[in-house]
Structure formats: C-alpha cells, structure tokens
C-alpha cells in the first residue's frame, strides 16, 4: 500500500465532497454561506473525514458511500472550531493559517456560520442516506451523541471551568480530552464502520481505537502548543499556559506527556488488531500521529 497516494486520494475526494455538498457561496444570504465556506475550505488536516473514508474502506466495496458522512463530520468539527475561537471562548485570531471566522467577517456572522454548519451536518446525513433509513438513523445517532452536552460540548464546558481552577487534576483532564477531542475522532471511525456494515464487535474495536487515537491526538496537540510555532501550526501557540489550561504537560511534564502519547498509540494499535479487512492504511495513519508537526 502506498500510504501517501491513498491519503492524497482521500483528501481530493473530501475537498470535492465539501464543495459539492455545501450550499453554494452565492446562495442567499451570501455572506453566511461565504463564511461557512471560508472556514470549511481553509484547509485543515481533514483527519476526521479521512478516518470515515478509511474505516469504510476496511471492506472492499462499502455498501453505503461514506462521502456524505465524511463531509458531515468535517462540518461539525469546523463549527466547533469557529465557536471555540470566538471572543467569549478562546478569543483567537488565527485558525488554519488565516484569520478566524469572526475576524474575517464579524462575531455574529461567525456564530451563525457555526450554527449553520452544525445544522447542515445533520441535514446532509438525513438527505444523503434517506433511501436506507436505519443506516441514516445510526449515523445521526452516532454524530449527535459525540457532539452533545455529554461529549463535545460537555468537554468544552469542563475545559472552560478548569481554566478558573488552580488544582485541576488528571481525572478532569481525561474527561476534557475524551469528550472535547476523542469523541469526534471515535464518531468518525464508527460512522465509517457503519458505512461498511461492519459487525458489532468490529464497531466496538473502532470505538476503542477512536478513544485511544483521540487521546494521542490531543496530547500531541498540547505538546505542539508548547513547542511549535504559529507559522507551522496555522494557529496561535502557547495558549495553554496563557489560558491556564490543564494539560498532560502541566501535570506530567513534556517527557511524561510524550510517554503517555506513545502508550495511547500502542492501545490504538492493539484495538486495530481486532478489526477485519485491510488495516494497513489505518495502521500507518495511527503511527503518523506521534510525529505530526501540525
């Protein structure tokens, strides 16, 4: 398997899907649709949609086309980034290498663009899989749970609350990382698995894989925030210390954080071993997580 070629093919498919499955930039009101596309098409690693496509490709011809599911996940992820950057949240100026949505447009437009991307994700799932209602329901259930007050938004809430504490502990840290970050990564893998009609034990393995990969991803994110630069990351660095965030580095130091990232990667690879089909791409992707530079 040529990892780079397959990754590139996924990225091309995702960009095409994002362009064709979103309302046109000139659809009324154009300012709102421009803002949605501005943030969505600004680039980004597209990790979550790649995971959807790669999990679906564990079987040779997935019975359900996973592209709309991949686009829905990226819409939801981008909404969370737009809202995370708002002045009432992280108050950030830079995202995906360009001014944040509220800087490029204005705060109200950014809020609405985030709302609209969140809503569009579910509209897309219900419309694209309407011919197979049970499958549409399973995808909507998975994504809405990951995006809910008990997962993504709950993680964000606890993250904000922890900033006001001086004694946030490891239990809080894991809750935040599992929900703010790992839940969406897990949902992406499971949604891909659902498109492939994988059996329950394989879906369960994808859940464990997503949880472990999500923790690795966030620990590496914390390491990059402390050690990299804005030009490489395309977003502000040093924010965790500035905002008094609880991170693995704060609790265990840089070496402890690196060790922990390796342990969670090993756990992700162990879960991968329980999956059927061709796991080579996912295995290679998991391994790149430890070395990622942005």
List residues near ligand GRG by CB under 6 A: 44-45, 47, 77, 80-81, 83-84, 96, 152-153, 156, 180-181, 218, 221
**Minimum CB distance to ligand GRG smaller for 59 or for 251:** 251
Burial-class residue 114 by CB neighbours within 10 Å (0-12, 13-18, 19+).
buried
**Minimum CB distance to ligand GRG smaller for 80 or for 279:** 80
**At its nearest, how many Å lie between ligand GRG and the CB of residue 74?**
8
The contacts of residue 203 (CB under 8 Å, 6+ apart) are 190, 193, 194
Closest CA to 113 of 43, 39, 48, 45: 39
**Minimum CB distance to ligand GRG smaller for 18 or for 203:** 18
Q: How far apart are CA 229 and CA 144, in angstroms?
A: 34
Q: Cβ distance 130 to 136 under 8 Å?
A: yes
Which residue lies nearest ligand GRG, judged by its C-beta?
44
**At its nearest, how many Å lie between ligand GRG and the CB of residue 180?**
5
**At its nearest, how many Å lie between ligand GRG and the CB of residue 40?**
10
DSSP state of 293: -
**At its nearest, how many Å lie between ligand GRG and the CB of residue 123?**
18
Q: Cβ distance 289 to 213 under 8 Å?
A: yes
Cis status of the peptide bond prior to 29, with omega within 30 of 0: yes
**Minimum CB distance to ligand GRG smaller for 45 or for 137:** 45
**At its nearest, how many Å lie between ligand GRG and the CB of residue 270?**
23
**Minimum CB distance to ligand GRG smaller for 153 or for 251:** 153
**Minimum CB distance to ligand GRG smaller for 198 or for 213:** 213
Q: What are phi and psi of 93, to 5 degrees?
A: -100, -20
Start-to-end CA distance of the chain, whole Å, equals 24
**At its nearest, how many Å lie between ligand GRG and the CB of residue 45?**
4
Q: How far apart are CA 285 and CA 268, in angstroms?
A: 11
**Minimum CB distance to ligand GRG smaller for 67 or for 220:** 220
**At its nearest, how many Å lie between ligand GRG and the CB of residue 9?**
19
Token couple for 50: 């790649």
Q: How far apart are CA 271 and CA 186, in angstroms?
A: 12
């Amino acid at each position: 398997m040529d990892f780079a070629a397959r990754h590139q093919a996924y990225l091309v498919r995702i960009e095409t899907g994002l362009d064709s499955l979103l309302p046109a930039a000139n659809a009324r009101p154009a300012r709102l649709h421009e803002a949605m596309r501005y943030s969505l098409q600004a680039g980004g690693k597209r990790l979550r949609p790649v995971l959807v496509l790669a999990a679906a490709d564990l079987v040779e011809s997935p019975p359900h086309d996973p592209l709309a599911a991949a686009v829905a996940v990226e819409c939801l992820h981008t909404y969370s980034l737009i809202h995370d950057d708002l002045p009432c949240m992280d108050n950030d100026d830079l995202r995906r290498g360009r001014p944040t949505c509220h800087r490029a447009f204005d705060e109200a437009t950014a809020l609405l663009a985030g709302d609209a991307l969140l809503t569009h994700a579910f509209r897309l799932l219900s419309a694209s899989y309407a011919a197979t209602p049970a499958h549409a329901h399973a995808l909507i259930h998975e994504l809405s749970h990951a995006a809910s007050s008990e997962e993504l938004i709950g993680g964000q809430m606890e993250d904000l609350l922890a900033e006001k504490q001086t004694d946030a502990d490891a239990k809080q840290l894991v809750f935040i990382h599992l929900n703010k970050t790992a839940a969406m990564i897990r949902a992406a893998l499971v949604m891909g698995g659902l498109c492939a009609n994988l059996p329950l034990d394989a879906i369960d393995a994808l859940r464990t894989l997503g949880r472990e990969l999500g923790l690795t991803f966030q620990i590496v994110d914390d390491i990059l925030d402390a050690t990299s630069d804005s030009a490489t990351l395309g977003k502000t660095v040093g924010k965790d210390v500035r905002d008094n965030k609880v991170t693995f580095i704060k609790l265990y130091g840089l070496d402890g954080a690196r060790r922990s990232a390796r342990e969670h990667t090993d756990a992700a690879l162990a879960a991968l071993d329980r999956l059927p089909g061709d796991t080579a791409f996912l295995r290679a992707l998991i391994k790149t997580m430890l070395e990622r530079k942005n």
